[in-house]
Amino acid sequence: MGKTALVIGGGFGGLSAAALLARDGWGVTLVEKNDQLGGRARYWHKDGFTFDMGPSWYLMPEVFERYFSLFGKKRSSYFDLSPLDPYYKVFYGEGETAELTPRFEENKELFESFEKGGGAALQEYMEQSTYKYEVAMEDFLYRDYKHIGQFFNRRLMTEGLRLGVLNKLDHFVSGYVSDRRAKQILEYAMVFLGTDPAQAPAIYSIMSHVDLKLGVFFPQKGMAGAAEGFAQLCRELGVELVTNAEVKRILTKDGKAVGVETAKGTYEADVIISSADYEHTESTLLEKVERTYTDSYWKKRVVAPSMFIAYLGIGRKLKNLEHHNLYFAKEWGGHFDTIFKNPAWPDSPCFYLSCITKTDPTSAPQGCENVFLLVPVAPGLADTDEQREEYFLHLVEHVKEVTGEDLGKDILVKRLYTHRDFIQDYHAYQGTALGLSHTLMQTAVFRPRHQSKQVKNLYYTGQYTHPGVGVPMVLIASELIAKDIQETYGR
Ligand SMILES: Cc1cc2nc3c(=O)[nH]c(=O)nc-3n(C[C@H](O)[C@H](O)[C@H](O)COP(=O)(O)OP(=O)(O)OC[C@H]3O[C@@H](n4cnc5c(N)ncnc54)[C@H](O)[C@@H]3O)c2cc1C
């Protein structure tokens, strides 16, 4: 009999790890608590509308291409991609808008229109962003860190300042541009990493290379469709995918994991990989002595935002919106403060609004629009039905003022989703959408470990671990642990 591996959780982290282990000859079973695979990247279907419940920005396409090449396969055999043009539209309030496009010269002109010399400043900023991105790909992201000495490698010691490990992004961006609209374009992606730009290390300026150079894509069946492609790869490799099978306990013997107890019975395994929310795996599925991290460790973490999401099926076309739309408030520091400093429901928040019908008309009935409205909010907020409804009504007015589109009219389908849902659906710590923020002290070697300290054959992948939040990052995490497992146990 060959060796067996059991994967907890069927999001991108779990699916990508399961396929890699199956490639390496393990007999793999993946158990997922929900009735659908995809994790945070699931569908919600209602009355002819198909909503992508979680991620919607397909970024860093090369990471996906590389992942499939590890199997001698092509991504295009599993799902198709549409490039977006414009990449996204920004609303600045008071009727002002801007579009970022695949044509860099246009983006330069936009920056020049914000301030004299802005075009050249963008060019210069992008050059350093590209350089850092290449270094990060070469030396940081695809590298596992078991101890701090590995983090402070030669490159970091010699180039740490240039790479912007120690200074903060907000400050760094101000060295290039001073117009607030330009600054916001160069900083907003920190929200993807669950981080306040004033607290993010400047190395994350790589995100501008990610969106403005590598581009923004949309998988033709949405991100949940891309997750289905990963599930298909798993099936081809013989992975057993079991849904509705919530893990209740990780079973151990003599300090080793030997299996899991689930809602559908017990599964034995030689190695276990958890992609479920890290704090849940540690605090609920293991005994206290088997945990790597204490309760106080979790209490001291900077937890990434939760999200207030409205999935709306609108019975008319919305002419002011593109596929991806962002609103950057004049004083966005106030919004970040309500997330990270003084937790509260933000009053005039920045928001993200996607309208995937602009690219995929099949996601809504004819003549209708598929709308996803998202506001990042502090984790751990009180969340009652009345509060949700009240906040939604407030947001509708706010969105109308900013975009000129009234989302309160012609609603055919509506679902509100926030803290309680993240906890119920994913066991998310404090209802976080994204896990842990990317502050310096929660980057690379400072993120929770890929391998348990107490239970040596228990591994972790997913967004809580290095390299971190976002679909491309969790694919990299799975590649790192698969390599580690292969080195420890052989193929
Ligand atoms: C609203 C939203 C928007 C986002 N936007 C983007 C974006 O545009 N682009 C991008 O790249 N990233 C985005 N992200 C982040 C990205 O979705 C995540 O980083 C990534 O999908 C996380 O994958 P994962 O496998 O680590 O976790 P998950 O997808 O959460 O998978 C973990 C799985 O474990 C399961 N599980 C939990 N407990 C148990 C248990 N006890 N037993 C069995 N199963 C269990 C859960 O049900 C879940 O399916 C977004 C996230 C959210 C929530």
Cα-to-chain-centroid distance, residue 204: 15
Q: Ligand 1, closest atom to CA 462?
A: 26
Cα atoms in the Cβ-side hemisphere of radius 13 Å centred on 117: 7
Q: Report mean pLDDT in 10-residue bins for the chain, 491 residues.
A: 92 98 97 98 98 97 98 98 98 96 98 98 96 90 82 70 80 96 96 88 94 96 97 98 98 96 96 98 97 96 96 98 96 91 94 97 97 96 93 97 98 98 97 93 91 96 96 98 93 66
Residue position matching structure tokens 């860099």: 104
Q: Is the minimum distance from the CB of 206 to ligand 1 under 6 angstroms?
A: no
**Are residues 158 and 122 part of one domain?**
yes
Domain extent at residue 165:
103-214
CA angle 389, 338, 96 (to 5 degrees): 80
**Are residues 225 and 201 part of one domain?**
no
CATH number at residue 237: 3.50.50.60
Q: Are 31 and 8 in contact (CB under 8 A)?
A: yes
Q: Is the minimum distance from the CB of 227 to ligand 1 under 6 angstroms?
A: no
Q: Is the minimum distance from the CB of 41 to ligand 1 under 6 angstroms?
A: yes
**Are residues 227 and 204 part of one domain?**
no
**Would you say residue 20 lies in a domain?**
yes
**Domain edge (last residue) among 193, 214, 235:** 214
Q: CA nearest 14: which of 452, 483, 461, 455?
A: 461
Nearest alpha carbon, ligand 1 atom 14: 55
Q: Ligand 1, closest atom to CA 374?
A: 1
Q: Ligand 1, closest atom to CA 246?
A: 42
**Are residues 148 and 126 part of one domain?**
yes
**Are residues 241 and 168 part of one domain?**
no
**Are residues 178 and 267 part of one domain?**
no
**Are residues 148 and 228 part of one domain?**
no
307/350 Cα distance (integer angstroms)? 12
**Domain edge (last residue) among 214, 246, 274:** 214
Q: Are 379 and 340 in contact (CB under 8 A)?
A: no
**What pLDDT sits at residue 447?**
94
**What pLDDT sits at residue 1?**
60
**Are residues 133 and 159 part of one domain?**
yes
466: left (phi over 0), alpha (psi -120 to 50) or beta: beta
**Would you say residue 430 lies in a domain?**
no
Q: Is the minimum distance from the CB of 349 to ligand 1 under 6 angstroms?
A: no
Q: Is the minimum distance from the CB of 462 to ligand 1 under 6 angstroms?
A: yes
Nearest alpha carbon, ligand 1 atom 12: 470
pTM for this entry: 0.97
Nearest alpha carbon, ligand 1 atom 15: 470
**Are residues 127 and 191 part of one domain?**
yes
**Domain edge (last residue) among 189, 214, 239:** 214
Strand duo 265-268 + 43-46: pairing: unpaired
Residue 458 in tokens? 């228990």
**Are residues 443 and 297 part of one domain?**
yes
**Would you say residue 278 lies in a domain?**
yes
**Would you say residue 374 lies in a domain?**
no
Q: Is the minimum distance from the CB of 54 to ligand 1 under 6 angstroms?
A: yes
**Would you say residue 394 lies in a domain?**
no
Ligand 1 probe mutation, 40, 64, 418, most atoms within 8 A of CB: 40
- As beta bridge partners, residue 415 has 311
Q: Is the minimum distance from the CB of 468 to ligand 1 under 6 angstroms?
A: no
**Would you say residue 165 lies in a domain?**
yes
56/42 Cα distance (integer angstroms)? 11
**Would you say residue 369 lies in a domain?**
no
**Would you say residue 117 lies in a domain?**
yes
**Are residues 244 and 293 part of one domain?**
yes
Nearest alpha carbon, ligand 1 atom 37: 276
**Are residues 191 and 145 part of one domain?**
yes
49 burial type by CB count under 10 A (0-12 exposed, 13-18 middle, 19+ buried): buried
Q: How many separate domains does the chain show?
A: 2
Q: Is the minimum distance from the CB of 219 to ligand 1 under 6 angstroms?
A: no
Q: Ligand 1, closest atom to CA 477?
A: 26
